[in-house]
């Protein structure tokens, strides 16, 4: 788990997934914008996001599907981000990135 600042000075949480998951089609890492350029705020938000992602990654099974996992991560991150913008933040709601949540419909094996 990393807390890093991108070239645009916005802080992100980055979690690298294990190699065995990448071999199954999962992405190499998960990057989540913390919607702030202030390190003091980013540190707290990083803990919130890491607290969401770590259990999800730990609970993955061999039957887990990458698309289903991504949908679940995006939904939970969007919920967490809704609580990020408080009274002291001046973030424009139009500028807030929203992670796409699509309905996952598992296919039946033939």
- pLDDT tens per residue across span 3-52: 999 999 999 999 999 888 888 999 999 999 999 999 999 999 999 999 99
* Number of structural domains the chain divides into: 1
Residue 12 belongs to a domain: yes
Residue 101 belongs to a domain: no
Three-state DSSP string of the chain: CEEEECCCCCEEEEEECCHHHHHCCCCCEEEEECCCCCHHHHHHHHHHHHHHHHHHHHCCCCCCCHHHHHHHHHHHHHHHHHCCCCCCCCCCHHHCCCCCCCCCCCCCCC
Residue 100 belongs to a domain: no
Residue 55 belongs to a domain: yes
Residue 108 belongs to a domain: no
Domain of residue 26: give its range: 2-95
Residue 109 belongs to a domain: no
Residue 63 belongs to a domain: yes
The C-alpha atoms of residue 30 and residue 43 are separated, in whole angstroms, by: 17
What percentage of the chain reaches a pLDDT higher than 90?
A: 51
pLDDT at 108: 59
Residue 103 belongs to a domain: no
pTM above 0.85, yes or no: no
């Amino acid at each position: 788990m990393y807390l890093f600042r991108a070239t645009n000075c916005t802080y992100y949480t980055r979690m690298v997934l294990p190699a065995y998951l990448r071999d199954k089609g999962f992405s190499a890492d998960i990057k989540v914008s913390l919607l702030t350029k202030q390190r003091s705020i980013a540190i707290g938000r990083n803990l919130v996001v890491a607290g969401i992602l770590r259990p999800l990654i730990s609970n993955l099974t061999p039957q887990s599907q990458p698309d289903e996992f991504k949908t679940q991560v995006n939904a939970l991150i969007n919920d967490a981000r809704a609580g990020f913008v408080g009274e002291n933040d001046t973030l424009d709601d139009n500028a807030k990135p929203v992670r796409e949540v699509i309905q996952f419909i598992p296919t039946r094996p033939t």
